[in-house]
Structure 1
Amino acid sequence: MASNEKLEKYEHYLNNVLREDLRLIVEERERLYEDIAAHSQLRQTITCILEAPGCAEEGLRTQVDLGSNFYVQAHVPDTSRIFINIGLGFHLELTLQEALEFLDKKLAILNTRLADSSKKSAKIKGQIKFFYEAIKELQGQQGVIAYCATMVELVKSVNVNLARVWLVSSLLSIILWLVPLLLGKYVDITFPYIHREDIMQELVGFVGPTESQNVDWCPIVSPLLQDTVHLMSSNVEVLPEEEIVKKSDVQEGGVSKPKSCKSRYQVVVVVPYRNRSTHLHQFLTYMHPFLTRQQLHYRIVVVEQSGEAAFNRAKLFNIGFTETLKLDQVDCFIFHDVDLLPRHDYNIYACTHNPRHMYSAVDIFRYHLPYRGLAGGAVALQRSHILAMDGFSNRFFGWGGEDDDLNARIHRLGLVMVRFDPAVASYVMLTHKSETPAQDRFTTLWENSRKVEKDGLSTLEYKLIEKKEKPLYTLLLVSC
């Protein structure tokens, strides 16, 4: 009876107190995200007005929304002052420079409130988990007691061959588990992931004052992000190179960064490549606008393997890492297949505190994860982690095995692979012919798990044939 009363109290507190508190915190966070996005957009608009040539003399021509999708053209003769909503329904007339100063302070306050809200959310989630586990334990105790009593009565009344029952049930369990695995139908839908509302606080970015007092940090949440799924299929229309450069403001070498603010995240996307020109054009067409909307300072590096030797994906990653550090001192690398495209803008291409497997759902697996230890497709790693695990293995020629070796290296460092919410970290794979798996991949994996000699960056050997900064990417043509 006492156990039942305690269970009812726990369930009441969990459902009526903690979950309600969490709902209010989540609603507050959503409002803060909206306020940050709105103030960031306003700041960007004011900056554009200040930088626009002739705006002070000729005024500003714009459109005003009257409602029901009706717009009228308007002319603002004096753009030197603006009315700003300062709260509680009050609007204050300010100069543009005063408005920028107000918005900077307002954004700082909002970001502080957002950080506090994130801490409260994490605390409440911890309490919810604690009570949930306590409830499960209480329910389990009651269930075990009732089950044991029933089984005792049953055994007393029926002559049961316990050894045969155990054997049959064990065989059935093995068959029920093994058959879906052999048919390729098994998926892991229980893996832990970082919830969407917690993504921003998990990212590793720049903090502190900027190098230039005239340029501020970009907002934590880019106002350019679109909260929608961009890809419903693998059909990506290729755009001309000049159009991509113009739209995304891409510099030589596939480098881009925001103009109106300093990016909080600097990242290099390393792409291994050979004989996939259509996929590469689709990748560049889609990824440059995608990365630009996230207000990243990024570079795309394509490492092309020459010759007829079997493709060595992991070794190309090592080469891309080594050669890129000769160009930029970057702390975040994303190693990315050319045929994989993200579907959601909030899948931020920056590093987290732990190594991160970029996708939690992909179309070819019916938007599930085949197995929890998967580390293929795309991974984000900090430079310190790459150096600590001696990079990738150089021994995997052909398809398969190198991603499982990467997962083992990460675990040997005492780290865990994290993933984002599947609603955000979903991907589409471009149509391509399936590669034949390398026959020796399992042998190489087993040997690597037992070897004590070094294999990775410390043993890397290759020949750099060409290193060229092209309009949309930095090319590394290598022989390995």
Structure 2
Amino acid sequence: MWGEGRRWWRCMGGGLGVGLMVVWVVRVCLILTITLLMLLVSLLLKNRITLQEADASIPVQANVYAFKEALEASVGVSGDSGKSSVKVLPGCPSTPPHLVGEVKVEESVTVKEAEARHGASVKYGGFSWPEHCEARWSVAIIVPYRDREHQVGAFLNHMHPFLQRQQLNYSIYFVEQDGTELFNRARLLNVGFLESHKEGPWDCYAFHDVDMLPENDYHLYHCSAQPRHLAVATSNNKYRSSHGILYHTYYGGACLMGEGHIRKVNGWSNIYWGWGGEDDDMWRRITFADMAVWRYPAHFAKYKMIKHKRQIVNEDRYKILKRNTGRYPYDGLKNLNYTIKTVTRHPLYTHILVDIGSSSAQDDPTNKKFSGHNNKKT
């Protein structure tokens, strides 16, 4: 009897030991499996980040003129083999190495003086790109313009070295309104976008007044996921930030938008003749299109306004602005009419002279009452 009990106990003890061993082996296997899965996920995420960084460091040479000349300059033909070799440049660093921070604005510079200073570093027509690396961003600088000849030299003298230190692939377009009709800044911006786009595509477009000059080159003209207001703090406003409570909807002076942003809001409104209104209208278009305006901190985004003569103000701008809800899908790029008179390549910029019609021929399509004729100087 006692012998049978001992045999039974040993069987039970042995079975229990085997069971415990199986449980231990299963646990070890589970721990090893989980560890391997975690390592695999970690490697995949690391590779994904590396690929994203690599993609970000490889820009697209957007400008067709720049691409053609850069390709011709980089292709060497061997006399022995007859084969060509293309020199591939590394991507420019995310932080440009030659930024200086605050820069002084020279207001009294002629176009000839600017050409003498910067003509060697700029391609004819105002095109420029870094020589030793591929630019991360390509930007078209669009300047609406009329009767501001004394400010053109200062703008070119300031903006070319400013943009070159940021290692951008860019070009500067001056879009001048022909005739004596009231100035329509927004229509000129629409024309500048459409005409410069033909020489792109560009990653983004800077809509820039000729009298607004940035005072810190850490204020990067890089493209953003959302429309970006550039002229945040201006000298004429004592450098008070424009995104304060009183006037946070200000979108004038200078701003930066991608093609997708511009197309989504159908460009700028065509119906603001005389000074004012079109920038507030664009702010509302951006809001209606479920986008947001981004800004750099005011101590970086400081702008010097060059003095100029008083402009004719559109006194009906606020009345027109009140009725802009729902108008933007058909008032803008889609109904823009214009005629290009001349396109002239200068050493530091491309000049586009355009006929954009008259205020009497293009009223608010939703209400004929306000046509922009009620104007005064400011």
TM more than 0.5: yes
Over the aligned positions, Cα root-mean-square deviation in angstroms equals: 2.3
Give yes or no for the alignment of 1:448 onto 2:321. Answer: no
Letter in 2 for 1:399: W
Residue 434 of structure 1 and its aligned partner are, at CA, apart by 2.8
CA contact (8 A) 1:359 1:420 kept: no
1:266 aligns with 2:143: no
Distance 2:354 2:287 in 1: 30
Query: How has the CA–CA distance of structure 1 residues 321 and 209 changed in structure 2, closer, same or farther, with 3 Å as cutoff?
Result: closer
Deviation at 1:369, TM superposition (A): 2.7
Shift of 1:236: 4.4
User: 1:220 maps to what in 2?
Assistant: 94
Aligned partner (choices 291, 315, 325) of residue 187 of structure 2: 315
The residue that corresponds to 1:465 in the other structure is 341
Give 1:375's match in structure 2, choosing from 242, 245, 251.
Answer: 251
The whole-number CA distance in structure 1 between the counterparts of 2:195 and 2:312 is: 30
Q: Which of 180, 198, 205 is residue 333 of structure 1 equivalent to?
A: 205
The answer for the alignment partner of 1:391 in structure 2 is: 267
- Distance of aligned partners of 1:210 and 1:419 in 2 relative to their CA distance in 1, 3 Å threshold: closer
The residue correspondences of 1:108-123 to structure 2 (distance < 5 A) are: none
- For residues 209 and 335 of structure 1, the distance between their equivalents in structure 2, rounded to whole angstroms, comes to 22
In the TM superposition, residue 210 of structure 1 has moved relative to its aligned partner by 7.5
1:245 aligned onto 2:118: yes
CA contact (8 A) 1:271 1:336 kept: yes
* 1:357 maps onto 2:229 in alignment: yes
For 2:289 and 2:326, locate their aligned partners in 1 and report how far apart those are by CA, in whole Å.
Answer: 16
Q: Which residue pairs with 2:127 in the alignment?
A: 255
Equivalent residue letter for 2:293 = M
Supply the distance in 2 between the matched residues of 1:358 and 1:453 (Cα, whole angstroms). 25
Residue equivalent to 2:218: 346
Write the letter of the residue equivalent to 1:445.
Answer: L
The offset of 1:281, in angstroms, is 1.2
1:419-455: CA deviation from partner (whole Å, max 9, x where unpaired): 1011111010001123232121112212222547610
Distance 2:58 2:205 in 1: 22
- Is 2:154 the counterpart of 1:279? no
Where 1:299 maps in the other structure, the secondary structure is strand
State the distance in 1 between where 2:95 and 2:134 align.
13
| 1:350 to 1:209, Cα distance in 2 relative to 1, 3 A | closer
Tell me the secondary structure at the aligned position of residue 294 of structure 2: coil
| Match runs of 1:431-442 below 5 Å | 431-442=307-318
Bigger CA radius of gyration: 2
Distance in 2, Cα, partners of 1:210 & 1:307: 38
Q: What is the alpha-carbon distance in structure 2 between the residues aligned to residue 319 and residue 357 of structure 1?
A: 20
Once the two structures are superposed, the pairs formed by residues 129-208 of structure 1 within 5 Å of their partners are: 206-208=56-58
- Please list the CA deviations of residues 356-412 of structure 1 after superposition, one character each: whole Å capped at 9, or x if unmatched: 000221111111035111000001000011011100001111000000000000001
Gaps in structure 2 of 5+ consecutive residues: 1-45, 62-85, 357-378
Question: In structure 2, do the counterparts of structure 1 residues 442 and 242 end up closer, same or farther at CA, with 3 Å as the change threshold?
Answer: closer
TM-superposition CA deviations, 1:152-177 (whole Å, max 9, x none): xxxxxxxxxxxxxxxxxxxxxxxxxx
What is the 5 A alignment of 1:30-109?
none
Distance 2:280 2:165 in 1: 32
Identity %: 38
**Structure with greater helix percent:** 1
Measured in 1, the distance between the counterparts of 2:122 and 2:327 equals: 44
Aligned to 1:3: none
Q: Which amino acid aligns with 2:94?
A: I
**Contact 2:241–2:298 at 8 Å: present in 1 too?**
no
- Do the aligned residues in 2 keep the contact of 1:210 with 1:216 (CA within 8 Å)? no
Secondary structure of 1:267's counterpart equals strand
